[in-house]
Structure 1
Amino acid sequence: MTTKTTAQPTTRTPGDGTPGIDPGTTNGPRAETSSASPVRSGGGRPPRADRLSGRDALVLFVLCAAQFMVALDFSVLNVALPVLGRDLGMSPSALQWAVTAFALPSGGFLLLFGRIGDLFGRRGLFLTGLTVFGAASLLATFSWDPASFLAGRALQGLAAAAIVPTGMSLLTTTFPEGPARDRALGISGTLLSLGFTTGMVAGGVLTDVLGWRSTMGLLSLFALIVLPLATGLLPASRPRRTDAADRPGLDVPGAVTVTGGLLSLIYALSTAAERGFGGADVITTLALGVLLLGAFVLVESRADAPLVSLGMLRRPTVAWGNLGGLVTFSMMSTVIFVLTLYLQGTLGLSAFETGLVFGVQGGLSAVAGMYAPKVIGRFGARRTLAGSLAGQGMFVAGMLLLNAHTWSVWIATAGVSLASVCHLGAIVSYGLTVTSGVPDEEQGLATGLVTSTQQVGITVGIPLLGVLATTSDDLLGGVRTVLALDAAIVLAAAALIAVGLGRGSAARER
């Protein structure tokens, strides 16, 4: 956490997106003191607010590399599933567990691990997550049967649940609000998008050339590179209070109900994507998830040290910002899913040619990531969020022109690429919107909400809308239906968020 000095004014206009609480007087545990902080104790001049120092850049590289690795894990295995199933003797119906075994713990434990990082130190949990991720990837690489492979995938997901919220909170506490954090989150959001896209392309190439095990081996190599760099670069992490009696306790009932609720919800939605919503297990776990999340809200309203402060959820920036994140992730993942079906099923493109289409998307997203902080600096995170969602919805609507002619590949390429540019703007601006004004000692909680929204969004879009394409007798017609509903949802969300954040921004935006 940055130490207050005369180089950083402590008087802020309420609501301008900066914390109104002096970290030295808060009751919660102190965030990490960072040697990568923009204010140095050695007497040197602080760097310009819009430029990262050499050490800051290295810290950002490590944190973003870890996020990229996790994003890569979401998609690198997808095209390898048929080959993997034949090699390990997994039936087609069981292959969904290659994805679900990762998604369940990675989404279910995010809030819990984010809070543990707040209370007991983010750096230690981050490094532990990297270590477990690398070991789990090796287990998946050398797995000898379905059980060993799925165990590796589950451990990868558990490690990702520790890496993502702690990595994001380390980023937001290392880089102060303003141009430095805008730029850092812009780079992080770009690599998040690129990681998912790169995984789709690299997974096919690696599987064809080296076999499916190389996709898991790539992840273990990433962890092997990032772990020693993180150990040497990340600042020491410790709560302010060393007396265990004074440290706020972990909200165990809240942890149990929210983790159980998220696990049940993600299981139900992941299974529904494969078998539909009619199965007894889907209905049961979906109902259980809703009940547990409802119980979580009740527990949090009565807890002395809640896992999630309901007051935080009542902040307009937190509520509307997370809605924007949920919509942009769920609807964009749906677009990519149905376009993959369309490009190969209707236009007859190969997996490699399909990967090239999404490669263009990834390239434009990278360019967008360079300019997103400048756009946010000019218009503010809240306006950028609403505007980016509106743009995403309009470009998705433009893809309703898709037809069965091969030249439609250009419409698909342009549409998904431009929609992804807006999607990236929404990713960066929703993260800034949610975390702005949150004290450093609660950044793990705030970023846990951000990343939980991301994980749930990626999970819910495909089963809710994508199934309309997979179950349609007319694939092209089903794809158009999904795109129309997708665009309508994004545009409606953009309008609601613009109004909701507008009402809550009587104080000027930073």
Structure 2
Amino acid sequence: MTTTMTPTGTTSRDRLILTVLLTASFTLAVDFSILNVALPVIGAEVGFTLSGLQWIATSFALCAAGFTLLFGRVADIFGRRRMFLAGIALLGVSSLGGGLAGDPAVLLAARVAQGLATAAVTPAALSLLTTSFPEGPRRERALGLNGALMAAGFTTGAILGGVVTDLLSWRWAFFINVIVAVVVLAVAPFVLAESRPDQRPRLDVPGAVTVTAGLLAVVFGLTSAGEHSWADPRAWGGLLGGAALLASFWAIERRVTAPLLPVRILRERTVAWGNIAGVLAFATETSLVFLLTLYLQEVLGHSPLAAGLSFAVLGAGTVLGGILGPKVIGRLGNPPRALALGMAVQAAATLVLVLLGPSSSGTPLLLAATFIGGVANLVAIVGFMVTATSGRPDQEQGLAAGLATMSQQIGITLGIPVMSAVVGATLAALGSETADHILTAVRTAIGVNTALCVLTALAVTAFLRAPRYSPAPVQGE
């Protein structure tokens, strides 16, 4: 007998919940990349030195990645809706300040606050999503849409940044967030239910301090390596300091009665290997955008706007991948298999880009490969999100969402510095920065990117098991 897979409880309220949460997630994803194209214009207008421009992006990324796990756990304790609304309010205020900024200090303070808002809203939104929809097809579809819009947001930011800067002003990259924040704050209190435990556990302050400082140090070290070199004291100093702090965090979590991150969770394969795969899934695709931006502008000589528009097909691919992801999981019956398949197809699509040459004749190849890679990457990301958030009780959904979101933020932050370091090392070995040498460096980094995709697919296949859960019943069963 054929069963109609129509989930129960699909109401207008469900659609409103999805709209509110996905709008917030998409907006925050856009913020990661919307200012990249506009950095030279911002520097000239606000008064940044050339070396200081990178802090517009770095200050945001540091806070977005470093505070995610802490805020995810705080949301578990004090209320996910409360954390979501507070983060959206902070996003609106900080974006208004950034849009009105007239000097570097104000703009950087706004970007720090935007990063903190991202760290607060993203895990809260994800845990609200997972607690609003039961495990099974409904949640998989919701996570698929969430993954599609977040990945598409990063690409859209690159496009929108060029369009807004050319047609209006870079300040509108901030003002757009203000409009979104006002709309979300007007609707969210009426559609989102509060979610928190009846008895509040104590917040693990020593664990919170060490893990946040450790993540900040690691992200700073990786960013410094990409901007300077792996031999730079800021790079290895940040990485060593971060490793020491994270080791201290692990020791603290084994002793405290109410740990921020129970060690037993990290011993579970779905959590440990799932989040490692998530970091690499986000790192490989976002860093590929950086590599192709170098290729389009430095080798082919395209304008920033033209380079940004070239990624529209990648954005379309990510949306399609988010829609197909739950279907692939349903067909394979196993989220980790979908994750491994997505990374394998992404590896093949990325490898093709090694064939790019010094002329625009390879543009059709670039567009086709990035579209296919975008679809595959989102299938992998949906598989990761389902794996990382399934099998957890509701009181740990903020923790699971915080870990998954931290993996996403670290992946986005980590990928570009690593690929930038590969490009820099290759150019140093070649001895100059001519267009031909930049092409060689980009091809080398694309090869490294492909290898990471392959290793991720192999590791998932070998070590990651499907999460245990019972799908929600459907009508007709």
TM-score for the superposition, normalised by structure 1: 0.87
Greater mean deviation of Cα atoms: 218-227 or 164-173: 218-227
Q: Distance in 2 between matches of 1:222 and 1:408?
A: 38
1:113 counterpart letter in structure 2: F
The residue correspondences of 1:39-58 to structure 2 (distance < 5 A) are 48-49=6-7, 52-58=10-16
Spell out the pairing of 1:256-271 with structure 2 (5 A cutoff). 256-271=209-224
| CA shift for structure 1 position 505 | 5.0
Give the match for residue 22 of structure 1. Answer: none
Residue 11 of structure 1: aligned partner: none
What is the deviation of 1:88? 1.0
Letter in 2 for 1:420: G
Matching residue of 2:186: 228
Aligned residue type for 1:351: P
Q: 1:143 aligns with which of 77, 81, 101?
A: 101
2:258 equivalent among 299, 305, 308:
305
Residues of 2 paired with 1:239 and 1:364: CA distance? 39
In structure 2, the partner of 1:101 is: 59
1:335-378 superposed Cα distances (whole Å, 9 cap, x missing partner): 11111100111122222222222001111221222221111111
Specify the alignment match of 1:162 in structure 2: 120
- Specify the code of the residue in structure 1 equivalent to 2:447: A
Q: Secondary structure at the match of 2:197?
A: coil
Aligned equivalent of 2:39, options 72, 81, 89: 81
Say whether 1:248 aligns with 2:201. Answer: yes
SS in 1 for 2:310: helix
Please say if 1:391 is aligned against 2:345: yes
Please report how far the alpha carbon of residue 239 of structure 1 lies from its aligned counterpart in structure 2 after TM superposition: 2.8
Tell me which of 407, 427, 447 is aligned to 1:484.
447
CA shift at 1:197, angstroms?
1.2
Percent identity over the alignment?
44
Tell whether 2:400 aligns with 1:446.
Answer: yes
C-alpha distance in 1 between matches for 2:374 and 2:148 = 10
Q: Matches of 2:123 and 2:469 in 1, distance apart?
A: 28
Cα deviation digits, residues 222-241 of structure 1 (max 9, x gap):
11121111122111344313
The letter for the 1-side match of 2:417 is P
Contact 1:50 1:180 in 2 (8 A): no
Decide which of 271, 291, 314 is 2:267's aligned counterpart: 314
**Matched letter for residue 415 of structure 1:** A
SS at match of 1:236: coil
Aligned to 2:359: 405
Q: Is the 8 A contact 1:360 1:417 kept in 2?
A: yes
1:434 equivalent to 2:388? Answer yes
* Residue number in structure 2 paired with 1:176: 134
Matched to 1:361, the amino acid is L
Deviation of residue 468 (structure 1)? Answer: 2.2
Match of 1:9 in 2: none
| 422, 429, 435: which one aligns with 1:468 | 422
Q: Contact 2:128/2:195 (CA < 8 Å) preserved in 1?
A: no
1:283 is displaced (CA, Å) by 2.5
Whole-Å Cα distance in 2 between the matches of residues 200 and 506 of structure 1?
A: 35
Letter in 1 for 2:344: A
Q: Which residue does 1:353 correspond to in 2?
A: 306
1:208 equivalenced with 2:166 (yes/no): yes
Pairing partner for 1:494 from 452, 457, 468: 457
Return the letter of the residue paired with 2:74.
I
Q: Determine if the alignment matches structure 1 residue 282 to structure 2 residue 235.
A: yes
Q: Distance in 1 between matches of 2:98 and 2:224?
A: 22
Give the aligned partner of residue 374 of structure 2: 420
SS at match of 1:438: coil
> In structure 2, what is the equivalent of residue 70 of structure 1?
28
- Report the more deviating stretch, 276-285 or 338-347: 276-285
Structure 1 vs Structure 2 CA RMSD: 1.7
User: 2:474 corresponds to which residue?
Assistant: none
The 5-angstrom pairing of residues 110-149 of structure 1 reads 110-149=68-107
Do the aligned partners of residues 118 and 509 (structure 1) sit closer, same or farther apart at CA in structure 2, a change above 3 Å counting?
Answer: closer
Contact 1:343/1:409, CA 8 A, preserved across alignment = no
The answer as to whether partners of 1:72 and 1:195 remain within 8 angstroms in 2 is yes
- Distance in 2 (CA, whole Å) between partners of 1:414 and 1:75 is 22
The whole-number CA distance in structure 2 between the counterparts of 1:352 and 1:506 is 43
Classify the secondary structure of the residue corresponding to 1:75. Answer: coil
- Higher deviation after alignment, 300-309 or 463-472: 463-472
**Distance in 2 between the 1:278 and 1:469 partners?**
15
C-alpha distance in structure 2 between counterparts of 1:117 and 1:287, whole Å? 30
User: Which AA in structure 1 matches 2:59?
Assistant: A
- Give the drift of 1:467: 2.4
Runs of 4+ in structure 1 over 3 Å off: 504-510
2:283 paired residue number: 330
**Higher deviation after alignment, 94-103 or 463-472:** 463-472
Calculate the TM-score normalised by the size of structure 2. Answer: 0.93
Partner of 2:330: 377
Deviation at residue 424 of structure 1 after TM alignment: 0.5
TM superposition shift of 1:277: 2.5
Instruction: Find the aligned partners of 2:28 and 2:161 in 1 and give their Cα distance.
Output: 14
How far is the alpha carbon of 1:456 from its aligned partner? 0.8
CA contact (8 A) 2:230 2:421 kept: no
Number of matched residues?
A: 457
